[in-house]
A and B are shown apart, each in its own frame.
Chain A
Amino acid sequence: MAEALSPAVQGALAAHRQRCNDLFAAARRGADLDPAAFQAWVREGIAPAVDAAAARRPAAAGAVLAALFERSLELVAQRVLGAGAREPFVTEGWLRLLPALPALLADDPGALSAAVVNVLHRLATTEGAQPQEWIAAMLRAGPGCADQAAFRDLGLVAAWRAGLAQYRDEALSLARRADPRLARIALGLDGVAPEALAGLLEAAAADPWRSLEEAREGPWGEPRLALVGRVGAFSGFGGQFPAPPLVETRGGAVHARCGGRWWRLCADCYGAVLLRRDAAPAGAPAAAGREASSVDASGAVRHRGLDAAFQELGGATSCASDGVTLAATIATSHAIYLVARR
């Protein structure tokens, strides 16, 4: 038998009964929503958050319930949240984070729930990203945030750390400006002294392929080229490309193209992302990046003054570099291979 709802949740439900019923009725008209399943979600997904917010600020219970109810209807119907969700990390983040952040939740339940869901949805649908790392980071850093803005800033820093390379520059900039005590937690550097953070951030900023953890361990030895990652996959398996892509350098950035479509590559030691473009990037393609970079038919790579051979890149069909990362494609793969100096 289900556990009884707390008086705070019962009171909030009673106060918003008509609106909640109307919202549910409207939602059912366009989506396959099971009343029993949604009731279970109210009990498991909404009630704990309402209880947490009410414990911090009793007057907020009604507003929190109304906002989370509406948000849940929207997301459960889209199968973003709840038992039938396509990406379980969104639900996990909701269930763990919202009750853990009662002050922020009571302040603006709509904004907090949207932020949590949207970041986790982006992470969960990005190849190679780590939504569970973001949840863990925000469980540690979130309770220290004074307001929604601080939560969002740290959320962006943690999202970069969890694999969203496109936010690298903004994340480094925010981490420098944020409270060092919270920033280091969001970056997974709990053991680092706050005063040491600035130096680590500078080291990471100087080389996208050097992680904060590596910077903490000290200087690297002799530089060498390494195969640092792969990005992209066959569209039939949920990837981007219907055929093996080609890469080009345009406007100083690496772009992939396939079937008349274009993507911009963002990559660093934490992740690699292909950002879809609606049209071809401006500017003529460059033969190579800012530094002489090449891959020959045998898989021999020259990049940033270093040479190396990679068997995987034999028969390369194209290569491009942004001056830091070399991207190469081969005829037999839908992935783009990434080479960088380590």
Chain B
Amino acid sequence: MEHRVSEAPTNPHPAGEQPRFDVADLYRGPAADAQAGPAAAVPLDEKLRQAYLWIVNYAVISPYYDLEFNDGPAASYAFGDSQTRLTLPSAQSYSSFVLLPLLNLMVRRRCLLVGGPGRGKTASAILMGVLAGYPLREVKRAIQHGQPQMTLADLLGNPLPADLVGAESMEQIRIAWRRWLSMRVKIIDEYNRIPTRTQSALLTLMADNYAEMLDHVYECPEAAWYLTANDDAGGGTYQVIEALRDRIDVVVKALHFNPRFLGDLLARIEEGFHPEAAVPPQIVFTEAEIDRANAEILTVALPKPLRRRLEFFASQFEFFEGAGAQFEYMTKDTLKLSGVDLRTVLAQDTGKDRVKDLGSQTRNGFSVRTLMTALVFVKATAWFRGNREVQLQDLRQVVPFVLHDKLAPHHDSPFFEQPGNAVLRVDRISWIRRLFDLSCAEYDRLDLDRSDPVGALSEEFTVVGVTEREARARLVKIERLLADLAKGRKLYGHLHDDALKLKYLHQRYSNYLRWLATRP
């Protein structure tokens, strides 16, 4: 409803250019008016913040601010024997359960909502459909409800019966595709109750954006996906196939209901209030607006020092020294493909400090797709906060939700045996955030913002217009740097990636010199 939407700036920033006099202002005022002209249109990030505030104020009772942002010192208080701290953020902070599905709507990825029954997972997904401009009834009809009898036809559609009888070739069989396939918001309720065979068809849809049946292909539009699961840890009727899990970009937990808000719930019951039926039109996004928001998000800058921190963080996990005799094969992927148990190889102790080695905490690294997803959600968060450049706290707050299902913890790691760390076996978001903090601390200890010789050589790299003498000088620099790096007694993930980068540069210059030598 229109007056429910914040009219004041939702996250005020310093005023920019002086507003110009506009006669259309006569028709702007307390009554929201679509005909008042384009100047009345709010920026899309502001519109999304309005949507966020409307949802948390009126639609989903999620009185949490677990995505904490600060613009100054934040007070905190330690509670209980564990001395867990409750922090009072100094800048506008958000509920992950509301914000991440909204960001997912803008970047059109795949969001998994997990949590116990009755916590608003499906309601939240329905709201996203309404915010994307679909009538409530259409959104509800398009929900795919996972259940053990769900067939391919239930999911995708049916061949027309008359064609099945009369057709002489597959091409003659027309398919009545299900309506939901054409929608820009797709909701799969309880996806872990879908039989394995049907999950495979769903995988094709989610991964490649098309449906296939009897040699016919239906190309789907780009869509934001919302999947729900009561228990994502294997409690569904069917085990979710790994490839399907891998396609989920962000995992959001529905937090518990705080009984202190029972009054709100009571009022809702007494009034028969259905928030999804009362979404204000001015927070509904058109297809073009979502396209534009997506384009705006991609233009948000990721400053180079932050990119380096993310590179450093990402390089901690895939490396596994005991997995390869050759440098390139020292990865957890090699180990996984071999079928050898991680614990068996870990028995070959290299004397490395396994508490300090962040890689020891995971059973895997993460993929290029995961990194790309992280970049998109981080940019979307910065954009939502009204910034045009990513901040470190955007990375710190949002990356754990992207890596939630991607980074598998190695629970036998001695890290988890350290005092106060046992809880991180259970609280995966906090664990990944701790990993990120530890990675940043190591990055600062190594002073990589100021001294990054591998980075400097990478930036310097070019073979265009480089003389033979210069190329040879660079090869010497690379070899000297490798020799320096090799002096360290222990090998860690970031060092492994640096060494491989130097090998790459060495090869490029060597090949260039060979080419120079054979040139007529």
CB distance from B520 to the nearest CB of A (A): 65
- Residue of B whose beta carbon sits closest to that of A275: B21
Q: For the complex, give the distance between the alpha carbons of A28 and B1 in Å.
A: 11
Cβ–Cβ < 8 Å partners of A110 in chain B = 33-34
Q: For the complex, give the distance between the alpha carbons of A327 and B285 in Å.
A: 48
CB contact under 8 A between A26 and B58, given known A73-B1, A170-B23: yes
- Residue of A whose beta carbon sits closest to that of B57: A30
Taking a contact as CB atoms closer than 8 A, the residue among B19, B27, B268, B273 that contacts A118 in the complex is: B27
Cβ–Cβ < 8 Å partners of A75 in chain B = 3, 30-31
Taking a contact as CB atoms closer than 8 A, the residue among A22, A78, A118 that contacts B274 in the complex is: A22
Cβ–Cβ < 8 Å partners of B267 in chain A = 25, 28-29
Contact B21 A166 (CB under 8 A): yes
Digit string of A6-46 for contact with B (CB within 8 Å is 1, else 0)?
00000000000011011111111111000000000000000
Contact B2 A70 (CB under 8 A): yes
CB distance from A63 to the nearest CB of B (A): 13
CB contact under 8 A between A26 and B4, given known A114-B31, A156-B26: yes
Contact A113 B277 (CB under 8 A): no
Taking a contact as CB atoms closer than 8 A, the residue among B2, B15, B31, B278 that contacts A19 in the complex is: B278
Q: For the complex, give the distance between the alpha carbons of A185 and B87 in Å.
A: 64
Asked whether any CB of chain A lies closer than 8 Å to the CB of B236, the reply is no
Asked whether any CB of chain A lies closer than 8 Å to the CB of B29, the reply is yes
Cβ–Cβ < 8 Å partners of B31 in chain A = 71, 74-75, 80, 113-114, 117-118, 121
Contact A122 B26 (CB under 8 A): yes
Q: Which of A289-342 contact B (CB under 8 A)?
A: none
Asked whether any CB of chain A lies closer than 8 Å to the CB of B338, the reply is no
Contact B26 A159 (CB under 8 A): yes
Taking a contact as CB atoms closer than 8 A, the residue among B1, B19, B33 that contacts A111 in the complex is: B33
Digit string of B244-267 for contact with A (CB within 8 Å is 1, else 0)?
000000000000000000001001
Q: Which of B269-307 contact A (CB under 8 A)?
A: 271-275, 277-278
CB contact under 8 A between A80 and B30, given known A29-B267, A114-B35, A278-B18: yes
CB contact under 8 A between A26 and B278, given known A73-B1, A73-B3, A78-B3: yes
Contact A111 B4 (CB under 8 A): no
Q: For the complex, give the distance between the alpha carbons of A167 and B22 in Å.
A: 9
Contact A278 B15 (CB under 8 A): yes
Asked whether any CB of chain A lies closer than 8 Å to the CB of B32, the reply is yes
Cβ–Cβ < 8 Å partners of A30 in chain B = 4, 57-58
Cβ–Cβ < 8 Å partners of A159 in chain B = 26
Taking a contact as CB atoms closer than 8 A, the residue among A26, A74, A167 that contacts B23 in the complex is: A167
A-side binding surface: helix, strand, loop or mixed?
helix
Asked whether any CB of chain A lies closer than 8 Å to the CB of B119, the reply is no
Contact A29 B58 (CB under 8 A): yes
Cβ–Cβ < 8 Å partners of A118 in chain B = 26-31, 33, 36
Contact A114 B3 (CB under 8 A): no
Cβ–Cβ < 8 Å partners of A275 in chain B = 21
Q: Which of B24-76 contact A (CB under 8 A)?
A: 26-36, 57-58
CB contact under 8 A between A279 and B18, given known A21-B271, A75-B31: yes
CB distance from B63 to the nearest CB of A (A): 14
Q: For the complex, give the distance between the alpha carbons of A265 and B450 in Å.
A: 55
Cβ–Cβ < 8 Å partners of B33 in chain A = 110-111, 114-115, 118
Taking a contact as CB atoms closer than 8 A, the residue among B1, B2, B29, B35 that contacts A121 in the complex is: B29
Contact A148 B278 (CB under 8 A): no
Asked whether any CB of chain B lies closer than 8 Å to the CB of A54, the reply is no
Cβ–Cβ < 8 Å partners of A74 in chain B = 1-3, 30-32
Taking a contact as CB atoms closer than 8 A, the residue among B34, B35, B273 that contacts A22 in the complex is: B273
Cβ–Cβ < 8 Å partners of B2 in chain A = 70-71, 74
- Residue of B whose beta carbon sits closest to that of A125: B29
Contact A25 B271 (CB under 8 A): yes
CB distance from B18 to the nearest CB of A (A): 6
Q: For the complex, give the distance between the alpha carbons of A108 and B273 in Å.
A: 27
Digit string of A108-131 for contact with B (CB within 8 Å is 1, else 0)?
101101110111011000000000
Contact B27 A18 (CB under 8 A): no
Taking a contact as CB atoms closer than 8 A, the residue among B1, B4, B35, B274 that contacts A148 in the complex is: B35
Cβ–Cβ < 8 Å partners of B26 in chain A = 118-119, 122, 155-156, 159, 164, 167
CB distance from A85 to the nearest CB of B (A): 10
Asked whether any CB of chain B lies closer than 8 Å to the CB of A106, the reply is no
CB distance from B222 to the nearest CB of A (A): 30
Cβ–Cβ < 8 Å partners of B27 in chain A = 114-115, 118-119, 152, 155
Cβ–Cβ < 8 Å partners of B19 in chain A = 278
* Of listed A80, A114, A148, A170, residue having the most chain B CB within 10 A: A114
Asked whether any CB of chain B lies closer than 8 Å to the CB of A104, the reply is no
Contact A77 B29 (CB under 8 A): no
Cβ–Cβ < 8 Å partners of B28 in chain A = 118
Asked whether any CB of chain B lies closer than 8 Å to the CB of A224, the reply is no
- Residue of B whose beta carbon sits closest to that of A280: B18
Cβ–Cβ < 8 Å partners of B18 in chain A = 277-279
Contact A27 B1 (CB under 8 A): yes
Q: Which of B135-164 contact A (CB under 8 A)?
A: none
Q: For the complex, give the distance between the alpha carbons of A227 and B4 in Å.
A: 47
- Residue of B whose beta carbon sits closest to that of A160: B26
Q: For the complex, give the distance between the alpha carbons of A121 and B264 in Å.
A: 34
Q: For the complex, give the distance between the alpha carbons of A170 and B271 in Å.
A: 48
Contact A25 B29 (CB under 8 A): no
Contact A27 B4 (CB under 8 A): yes
Contact B271 A27 (CB under 8 A): no
Q: For the complex, give the distance between the alpha carbons of A159 and B278 in Å.
A: 34
Q: For the complex, give the distance between the alpha carbons of A110 and B282 in Å.
A: 13
Cβ–Cβ < 8 Å partners of B30 in chain A = 74-75, 78, 80, 117-118, 121
Q: For the complex, give the distance between the alpha carbons of A78 and B33 in Å.
A: 16
CB distance from A46 to the nearest CB of B (A): 14
Contact A117 B271 (CB under 8 A): no
Q: Which of A115-165 contact B (CB under 8 A)?
A: 115, 117-119, 121-122, 148, 152, 155-156, 159, 164
- Residue of A whose beta carbon sits closest to that of B35: A111
Cβ–Cβ < 8 Å partners of B271 in chain A = 21, 24-25, 28
CB distance from A298 to the nearest CB of B (A): 37
Cβ–Cβ < 8 Å partners of A21 in chain B = 271-273
- Residue of A whose beta carbon sits closest to that of B272: A21
Cβ–Cβ < 8 Å partners of B3 in chain A = 27, 31, 73-75, 77-78
* Of listed A110, A148, A167, residue having the most chain B CB within 10 A: A110
CB distance from B60 to the nearest CB of A (A): 13
Taking a contact as CB atoms closer than 8 A, the residue among B23, B32, B264, B273 that contacts A114 in the complex is: B32
Q: For the complex, give the distance between the alpha carbons of A148 and B33 in Å.
A: 12
- Residue of A whose beta carbon sits closest to that of B7: A78
* Of listed A24, A70, A77, residue having the most chain B CB within 10 A: A70
Q: For the complex, give the distance between the alpha carbons of A14 and B326 in Å.
A: 76
CB contact under 8 A between A23 and B34, given known A70-B2, A74-B1, A277-B18: no
Cβ–Cβ < 8 Å partners of A277 in chain B = 18
A-B residue pairs in contact (CB < 8 Å), sample of 15: A18-B274, A18-B277, A19-B277, A22-B274, A22-B275, A27-B4, A70-B1, A74-B30, A74-B31, A75-B3, A75-B30, A77-B3, A110-B34, A111-B34, A278-B19
A residues neighboring B (CB under 8 Å)? 18-19, 21-31, 70-71, 73-75, 77-78, 80, 108, 110-111, 113-115, 117-119, 121-122, 148, 152, 155-156, 159, 164, 166-167, 170, 275, 277-279
Closest 9 pairs between A and B when the two form their complex, measured CB to CB: A118-B29, A74-B3, A25-B271, A114-B33, A25-B273, A114-B31, A117-B31, A22-B278, A170-B23
Known: A27-B1, A277-B18. 10 other contacts (CB 8 A): A21-B273, A22-B272, A27-B3, A78-B30, A108-B35, A114-B31, A118-B26, A118-B36, A121-B29, A166-B21
